[in-house]
Each structure stands twice: as C-alpha cells, then as structure tokens.
Structure 1
C-alpha cells in the first residue's frame, strides 16, 4: 500500500480521482492499493521561544540573542487532528512506502518533511514533481516518481529560510521592542521591503519641482522641439530669433527599421505586475486567482520564476495555440504563426516552466469562471499567443531642423508589421498618451527649407518620483541588489515569486504601509509606524542588497553549492553582533506612535489573570507579554456568519462561553444553534470551539468540513 500525502484536501481529491481511489474515510481516501491524505498547509511549525525556556515568555533585552542549538518543532494547535490521522496512516503495517505529493517547490518539500520527521517515520519516500494538474500530467507524474534524495538540498534551503526568518524576526523584534518600549515587528524580507517604500515616500516629500522651457517650431509638414532650458528669458530670445528667420532648414533625416521581439510568457512576478497595472489586482489576489486556475487544471503551476518552456513542450504548442483561440475567442480572426523557438530554453527553466494555459481548456467553460479568475486567465492566454507571434516591426524617422543657429528635433514611426502587438491590442486596446510622438512623419528630404507657421514656448516642470504601486514595488523587490551582484548571478532581488505577495500583505496588515487611491489605481505609502521603524532599524536589517545576497545563497543551498551551516552561521553572527552593538537612536520616542490607551475592562484574562480591556481593534490582555486577544474583525465568527460584539466578548471572558443562534454553514447554507467557548491555547492565544445543540449533528459535519480549528492570536506579539 502506498500512502500519498498532498498539501491540500482539494489536491488530494484530484489525485485520488485520477488514481481511482474512491473509499472515503475521516481525513483520507483509500482504494486500489493507495491511501490519499493531506497536510492542510503547515501541520508542523517552529516552536516559540518560551518552549525552549520558560523565561523567554517575557521579552527581556538581557535574554538576547535567542539562537537554539537544537531546533524544536510543534504540531499546529489548529491541525492536531489531521496530524494524528497522518501519523496513524504512516504507522499502518500495510503501508510500505510514502509519496510526497505536496506542492512541487521549496515550501511543499518543507511541509511534508517536517510532518514525516515529527511522526518518526522511517519508511521509504518517493517524490511526485509535476507542473500541471491535468489528468495526463498527474498520471505521467505517478509513472515517473523520483527518489526523495534528489530534493535533499531543496529541503535544506527551506530549513535555512525558515530558521533564518525565525532568528531575525524573534531577536530583532524583541530587541527593538525592548529598547523603544513599543512593539516593532521586524522581518528578514519584510523590513527591507518596507525600507524601499519609506525611502520612496521621503524622496517624494523632499522633492521640489523645477520649471523648464522648450521652444517648439511648427510647420505645415512637421513640428519639432529644442533642448530644455531653465530660464524663460533664454527661451523667449530663441523664439524671437526664429520668428525673425521665418524658415527652418532640414539638416538631417535618418530612417531605421526597428523591431520589438514578442514578450516571454509569464512567471508569477510578471503576471502579478501586469494584473496590478491593468486590472488593479493586488499581488496576493493574482496569486490566489492563479492558484485556483491551477487546481481547476486550466493553467500550469503558478509559483514559478521561469519565463521559458522546455524543449519537450515545443511540439504541443501549435495545437494549444489553436485551442486557446477557439475556446476563448482571443485573436480568433488572426492566423498566429507559432515560433516555438522564441520561448523554448530548458537551461533557463528551474523547478517549473512558465505559466501557460493547459489543454484542459477544451473541456472547461471559461465564461463561467469568477470574474477575477477569468481576467487572470485571459492575461495568461493572451500572453502565450503573443509570445509565439511575429516581432512588432516599424520604421523610425528622426528629423533634425536648424533655425537661427539652433537645433530642433522630432521623431515619428510607421508600423510595418504589427506582429504580436495586434494580438495584444485586440484584447487590451492601448491608451495613447498625450506626450506620444506622432505615428508618422511626412516625407521630407535633407536640405529642404520649410516656412514656419508658428514658434512658441512650451512650459513644463520636473516630476517627482512616483508612489509605489504593487507593480513597481514587485519590480523593485525582484531587482533589489542587482547592481552589486555579479552578472552571472541568476536570481537577484529579495523574496521569491512565491513569497513577495505575502510580504506586501503582511506590511499592510501590520500597519506599516497602506493602500491609497481608487479601485484600479491604488498606490502604496508608508505610515508613521513604518517610517518610525525604518528610522530606528540599522542598515544591515533594512538593506535590500544584504537580503538579496541571502536569497542568492539560499538558491545555492538549494542547488547543493553552498553549505547550510555556513549560511546559518552568517545569520546568527549578524544577529549576535546587532544585539551586542546596537544603540538606541536618541530622540526616537518622538517618532514612535503613542501607545493605545486601554478602555473598559471586561474581565480577567483566562491565560494569565490580568485585565482584559477594550481597545480599538478588539479586547486585549493588558499584560504586554500575554498573547490572549479577541479581535473585532474575527475570522472564526465570520465563518459562522456572526460578528464579534462588545456584549459577546464580555460574556466569553466572564463565563468562558456564549450561546449563538442561527449560525450558518458555509458549505450547505443551513443554520443551526450552538454554544461557543473560548480558552487559552498552548501559547496563551485565544482558541475557540463549538458545542452543538441537540439536532445539530448534520450541521456539526458541515461545520467541521468548512472550519478546521481557526486559532486567533495577537499579531502585535508575533515575530515578523
């Protein structure tokens, strides 16, 4: 019997369907020589500092740095049941081998191995590694399972990333929070990203626009402009000279044929950038939509940093292009020449190839997709059609005019072959900018003299740097540190395609940056809290270049070219030096936001006995070292169709439970009555559970399927 373990139930069920595994049990399926179960995300996670030593439950400067000699792991409080199911399945006598079918990437490898190791399992393991959820790809993957040992270095890189983030987050957060008496969350990737936003906002605030002037010559055939000048008087003098002259001579005409190659297919970051720029989607929304499309078998694996396909895929491209045109109507009236060689390069494909539609679109109803998924699918489909198309070709004409001893220039272009742009513009018509040069210039020969119909001054002013959008911030994250790295370095920047969206969301959730603007054109700005953090955090923590260097070393660990112990020693050494040498910035108290004042006390903390007081975002323990909190914006109660109210919060704190009427099942839509209880979890956080009234058995089943033990804890005391 082979035990198959996936990352999510939905993926497990898809694999089971392909393999013919139909018998359902609690937390797994069985049949045909297979057992299929799942992890529900991270079942096993790093332990908190206080689990190493009880004194770490209080944040004390004297206890820093906290660097474990042996790392401890714990089972996530909300997923213990599924962990126990997996543990029993691994221990079954009839299970002779295990297949790691978690997502084919760094995180998927980590999720599986932590569970496998925590269960103490020693049975042989094989690895499923696929880039598509199509039935044919799943079958082929299971026919060609790979040895676990091929991914040992990938696992080492994942461990290094996780442990480095823990060391930096725990120690830096506690260091700055103790020194400045405010909770200041610091993260290995989060803080350098925040620093880029803060620096951009500082540049915008410091910018002072300066006027400039150009002289414009206008004739019946062409108009041209001169160089920029800072003084209007200087421009006015040239205007007078040109008006007096009355004519201009064409001193030079050059014509060149140019072309723009078709764009490559999308990797995740380039897809997120276009979706933000064109549709206003956040990076996280785009990732979520693409992940859903992947699980619906409509696109290939989303968390990729490659924009090429492998050589074995060239043959299928003509039929795929034809299917896309037929099923979507994109460029349906155009004959697209498929230049597969433009996007084939196996040497530039790392774990996964570029994101493209799958052959399954022929059996799907694209029009019935949710609007967000449909928009992202259209982007991916359009990009593939463009990427195999002809180059965009045009003729560029540059004209130089001389008048009264001054030189004026202009450019224009004539389209020779629209190529791939015709495909793109059939779906996304271009918006012509006012400042765009004319498409064409009338035929003019060198030496000809033109009569001036007008000469005028055009006034402008220098522009400030622009606020970051998610498009431009992703671009900065991707290229951070590139100038200081050798050209041969493959992955530059901070974060990975899989993590960048989460970093941006975390900065927003923690109040360091915020989104401003309308629905489709939001920009990102730093808050006072974000500005204060970057002001007090030293260069080595906020340096994009240093973080980019760490990311490159993690990639080398993944490839087996860099020692994991050396990488961890660098991280530990940096943090140790920071704790020993950092001195608080004088006057920083004036930069930091004032503490939120506690409101009405509603009872005693079930975890530590201190007062629970009402604050802006919920009801929190007044003991700053305690993690017990009940949030107003409470996801657990949202799942029940309920809102957290002051009356409900007080009843939960004073009595430990409260009756709820007409709760709603997300899966069935049916309502039921139940009693909700609250108690402190392993680390003092608030853990909710339900006790069902009589007659609620059907709803109990529906509830268990829709909610897998959500744990609510205070992010104010969680290391970034």
Structure 2
C-alpha cells in the first residue's frame, strides 16, 4: 500500500477523492489501496539556538558565532499531533512506499523530507510532480510517479537555503542587537532587500530638480519640438528667431513596427501586474493563486517560467476558447491561437507558466472572492492575449526646419489592433483604470518640402524628475534583477530570493517594523534606515546575496556540493562576527530609547541586551520583537503574596536572583525567607526558590 503525503489537508482531500480514498481516519483518509495524509505546512523546523546549549538562551557577543556541528530539529506543540499521525502511518506494515505529494517545488520537497527523516522512515519514496490539481493532472501524475532520488539535489538545495538563513539570521540578528541594545532583525535576503529601499529613498532625497526648456513650433495641425536646453535664454533665442516665420518639412520617415503578444505569467510578473492594477501585495496575490490552485481553477503558482511545454500545444485551442468564454467582453469573438508564441521546452524549468484550467468552464466564478476572481481573469486575459495576433502600427518621424533650427515630431497609426484590442477591452472593465502609456498620436499626411507659413513658437518649461519610491511592483522587479550585472551570463538564478519567497520577504520587512506601506509605496521605516547605516556591506549587498541564490541553483543542478555552499555561508558568518566586535559610537544616536518610555531603565534585558522599562503591567524589554517581560500579574509571586516591585525586578535583572523575606506558604499558611532565582529559557521566564541550610519553608 502507498502512503501519500500532501502539504495541506485540502490538497490531500482532493487527491484522495480522485484515488477513491474516502474512508476517514484521524488525520488521514484511506481507500482504493491508498492512505492519504498531509503535513499541515512546515511540521518540522530547525530548532532554536538554546537547544544546542543553554547559554544561547541569552544573547551575548562572546557566544557568537553559533555554528551547529549537527543540526537539530523541532516540532511545534500545535503540530505534534499530525506528526504523530504521519509517523504511525509510515510504520504501518502494510505501507511499502511513501509518495511525496507536497507542492512540486523546492519548499514542498523540504517540507516532506524533513518529516520523512525526522520520523526515521527508510521506506522507498516516489514523487508526485504535477502543475494542476485537476483530476486529469492527478491521475496522469500517478501514472508517472518518479523515484524520490531524482529530487535529492532539490532537497539538498532547499536544506542549504534553510540552514543558511538560520545561520545568518541568528548570528547577525544577535550580533547587532547586542551591539546596539535593540532587537535588529537581519536576514540573508531580507536585509539586502531593505538596502534597496533605503538606497532609493536616499537617491530621492539627494535629487536636485533642474529645469529644462524646449522650443516648440506650432504648424497648425501638428506641433514639432526642438532640443531640450538647460539655459532658458538659448530656447528663447530660437523662439524669437522662428516665431511667425516659414517652416519647411525636411524629411518624413515611415516605418512599420510589430509589438508581439506578451508572454504568459510566471509568479513574479503576475504579482507585479496585480499590484499595478489592483494594489494587491505580493503576498495577497500568492495567497489568491494558492487558493485557485487548490480549487483546481489555476495551475501551480510558484513558477519562474513563462512558457509551456510542447506536449501542451495540442490542448491550447480548447483552453483558450474556454478562457475567452468566461470574459464578458469576448462574447461573439473567436480568439486567435498561435501556440508557437508560448511553447518552448528549453525555457520551462520545474513548472510551466501559470494558466487557468479547463475547470473554469463549469465553475461559478461569480461566487469566488473578489480577489481570486480578479486574479483568475488576469490569467484568462493573458492567455488569450499571449496566443493572439501581433499589434501592428506605423511610426512616422517628421523633421521640420525653421530659420536653420531643426524640430521633430513622432506620430503613430495603428494598422492592426491584434492582442492589444483584447487587453484594452479588459482594462476598460476595471473600476480603477490604469494610467495610459504616453503614446504618440497620428500625424497628418505630410510630404518632404511641404511649407508652413507664419508658424507660431513657444518655449515649454519642464523639470527633471527624481526616481520614484518603490511600489511592490517595482521592488519585485528590482529583487528579480539585483546583482545581475555581476553574475555569469549563463546563471540560472539571478536576483534576491525566488518567486516563491519574495512575497514573504517583503511581509517580514513590514512585520518587523523595518519597512512600511504608504498607499502603493513601500518605504523604509526610520529603524530600517538606521539598521542599513550600521550594517557592513557584506550583509546588505544585493549583489553578494544574488550570488548565493545562484549558488543554491548550482547545488540543485549538481554543479556545487551542499558542503561547499554551507562552508561559504559559515565563513561569511565568522567574518561578520569577527569584524564587528564593537559598536560604532557615531551610530548610537540612530537607536535612541523608544518614545514614550515611562521611566529610566530598570535593567538590561538578559536576552537581547536592550533596556527593560517599567510599564503598567510589568517590566518589559524595549524591543517588542524580543518578548522578554517580568509581569506584575505573575502566578509565582501571587502565590507567595508578594508584589513584584521595581527593586525586586532590578535585582533579578542585575544578578538573576533576589533575597526576599515574608514569602507566604500555601501549604502551611506561614511566611518564610528564601532566595528567588530567575531562569529565562529564551522563551519563558520561570522562577525557583533556594533556601539556606537549616531554613524551613
């Protein structure tokens, strides 16, 4: 019997229904010769630092770097039950094979393998690798199960990514938090992304707006422009020389041009488009796509390919017809289908481009949440456009001479709307119409030597424009191309992160208070700007991190061993700690005590080295992300009928213990003296009692 393990329960149930596994168990389904269960996301994760040594429960420079010789793993309390279910199913004597049906990508491979190895399973693995949750795709996938060993390198790359992020994140975060006495979240990919935001805002702040002047000539039915001048007088002199004079057409050049249909969406281009048109964040788009995938309405979302494989060409006409049928503005229009534009085996990696599925034909799309419906329509429109006819136009460039000065104008005449007619019709249906591109208007019929008398001139003033703050759209593009100029031309993976991880990176920047959203803009927060100011180039360089992403792809393809990759990460970590052994006093002003502190510090936080401040409910670390707190409403002190005062808190923070008298005994009803010892696990603060010899409770 095969045990099939999916990533989520919804996917497991979809697979089970196709295979006939309808008998429900506790955390699994059975039937048709199959067992089907699921991982509930990341069941097994890397253990916390203090698991390796109790001393890591406190954040101290002298304990860095933390470089585990043998990695340890842990399971969260709330997911332990499902892991137990999987372990017991794996051990069943009638199970002779495990099918990895987690999402067909790097993270899906990691989720399954960590559970498989944590449970100590040795049974053979087969891999279900599908790009759609449609019944035909599932049954086809089970007819073509592949050996799990085919994906060993993918797993090694995924594990390298996980361990590298742990090493850099744990060490760099503790290092700079201890130095600057605030919790400063640092990440292998997150920090270079933050650096992009900071750099862009610095460029905007440093930008000096400069005027420029353009002489223009009004020939009655069209306007031609001269060169741009920084000097207003130069433009004014041309204006004076040409006003109410004769202009002659020196040349008319007409060239026919073609705009080929756009390529299909990969995840990043879909996220960018959804941000432009609907203001969706990258994470929202990914969440909508994941839901559509699980509802069998769209194919696998986490892809970096924008092409289809040759074996999909035969089914394209039917799929395009189905996609067009769900678009109201396509009613009565038979779409063109040129499969050659979207089919290329050499440009398909682990998954083909994102598509709507044939199942949309029989689904009640009006019942979908608005966000999912918007994304699905985007997929349908892009598919119909991508296989459509090219957009053809004629571009005319006319040059006009007046008093020895040259002026030009461009005009555009549409010859064939092609795919742009579909795109324009779709965008006309949107509530918020996107900004139109500055397209040239058509020029009148002109001929060389044509004369215009008494032309009127003017000087048009303009200003240079600063760079724009990043939006989610433009940041995704920057992440995708970061460091490309320093990469080999044949590099398979460029940029920061992957299509599957970029959304979570942006969300973490916002969640940790290093960046903030303002309308459609993504801006670095004050804390984020300060962090980039104190960090060395080695940890914030987009180019360096992009190289590590390329190296991960080399591990996946077998061009680099995982040991070599991790050795490089360890070397980076050691160098980072050694070269940053002391804070820079000039930077301390960047991290002042939080506004609104109610008092001076009671003591130093034993976890992150920040200040512990007195509040209404207790004594809390100034850094919210740290989480250290001594609560007044504390069960231990309440049971001893003792108030947790400022003096007691100060002693506990300074020495880790405090000698107290008059402690109440619930057992005897009497009071006693003892030493209260604070024990901070890094997650919880506990207390215990110690008595002097001969003392009684």
Give the TM-score category using the shorter length. 0.7 to 0.9
| Residues 161-240 of structure 1 aligned to structure 2 (within 5 Å) | 161-240=161-240
Distance in 2 separating the partners of 1:595 and 1:576: 31
Larger Rg: 2
| Residues 671-686 of structure 1 aligned to structure 2 (within 5 Å) | 684=683
Distance in 1 separating the partners of 2:434 and 2:236: 31
502, 521, 524: which one aligns with 1:500 = 502
| Residues 626-665 of structure 1 aligned to structure 2 (within 5 Å) | none
Residue ranges of structure 1 left out of the alignment (5+ in a row):
601-606, 631-645, 657-679, 688-720
How far is the alpha carbon of 1:579 from its aligned partner? 1.1
Pair 1:571 & 2:569 matched: yes
Q: In 2, are the aligned partners of 1:42 and 1:76 still within 8 Å (CA)? A: no
Q: TM-score, normalised by structure 2?
A: 0.87
Q: Which moved more, 1:558-567 or 1:294-303?
A: 558-567
Report what 2:302 is aligned to: 303
How far is the alpha carbon of 1:179 from its aligned partner? 1.3
Report what 1:471 is aligned to: 473
How far is the alpha carbon of 1:585 from its aligned partner? 3.0
Distance in 2 separating the partners of 1:433 and 1:545: 33
**Which SS does the other structure have where 2:251 is aligned?**
strand
| Residues 372-521 of structure 1 aligned to structure 2 (within 5 Å) | 372-429=371-428, 436-517=438-519
How far is the alpha carbon of 1:597 from its aligned partner? 6.1
Deviations 1:660-685 (A, max 9, x none): xxxxxxxxxxxxxxxxxxxx998525
Distance in 1 separating the partners of 2:340 and 2:530: 51
How far is the alpha carbon of 1:432 from its aligned partner? 9.0
Q: Which moved more, 1:323-332 or 1:136-145?
A: 323-332
**Which SS does the other structure have where 1:454 is aligned?**
strand
**Which SS does the other structure have where 2:243 is aligned?**
helix
**Which SS does the other structure have where 1:382 is aligned?**
helix
| Residues 525-604 of structure 1 aligned to structure 2 (within 5 Å) | 525-582=523-580, 584-595=583-594
Distance in 2 separating the partners of 1:558 and 1:435: 41
Q: In 2, are the aligned partners of 1:225 and 1:410 still within 8 Å (CA)? A: yes
The alignment covers a number of residue pairs equal to 636
Q: In 2, are the aligned partners of 1:328 and 1:366 still within 8 Å (CA)? A: no
**Which SS does the other structure have where 1:396 is aligned?**
strand
Distance in 2 separating the partners of 1:590 and 1:173: 19
Q: In 1, are the aligned partners of 2:46 and 2:73 still within 8 Å (CA)? A: yes
Compared CA separation, residues 685 and 457, structure 1 to 2 (3 A) = farther
How far is the alpha carbon of 1:629 from its aligned partner? 6.6
Residue ranges of structure 2 left out of the alignment (5+ in a row):
600-605, 640-678, 687-697
Report what 1:275 is aligned to: 274
Q: TM-score, normalised by structure 1?
A: 0.84
How far is the alpha carbon of 1:560 from its aligned partner? 1.3
| Residues 351-366 of structure 1 aligned to structure 2 (within 5 Å) | 351-366=350-365
How far is the alpha carbon of 1:472 from its aligned partner? 0.2
Report what 2:131 is aligned to: 131
Compared CA separation, residues 619 and 443, structure 1 to 2 (3 A) = farther
Q: Which moved more, 1:167-176 or 1:574-583?
A: 574-583
Compared CA separation, residues 377 and 624, structure 1 to 2 (3 A) = closer
Report what 1:675 is aligned to: none
How far is the alpha carbon of 1:486 from its aligned partner? 2.4
Distance in 1 separating the partners of 2:255 and 2:622: 72
Q: In 1, are the aligned partners of 2:110 and 2:159 still within 8 Å (CA)? A: yes
Q: In 2, are the aligned partners of 1:269 and 1:474 still within 8 Å (CA)? A: yes
Report what 1:141 is aligned to: 141
How far is the alpha carbon of 1:363 from its aligned partner? 1.7
**Which SS does the other structure have where 1:183 is aligned?**
coil
Distance in 2 separating the partners of 1:278 and 1:494: 24
Q: In 2, are the aligned partners of 1:619 and 1:629 still within 8 Å (CA)? A: no
Deviations 1:395-415 (A, max 9, x none): 000011111221111101000
How far is the alpha carbon of 1:17 from its aligned partner? 0.7
**Which SS does the other structure have where 2:326 is aligned?**
helix
Q: In 1, are the aligned partners of 2:594 and 2:622 still within 8 Å (CA)? A: no
Compared CA separation, residues 433 and 116, structure 1 to 2 (3 A) = closer
Distance in 2 separating the partners of 1:447 and 1:626: 74
Compared CA separation, residues 437 and 82, structure 1 to 2 (3 A) = closer
Q: In 2, are the aligned partners of 1:77 and 1:681 still within 8 Å (CA)? A: no
Deviations 1:594-644 (A, max 9, x none): 2466669xxxxxx99xx998869x9875498996579xxxxxxxxxxxxxx
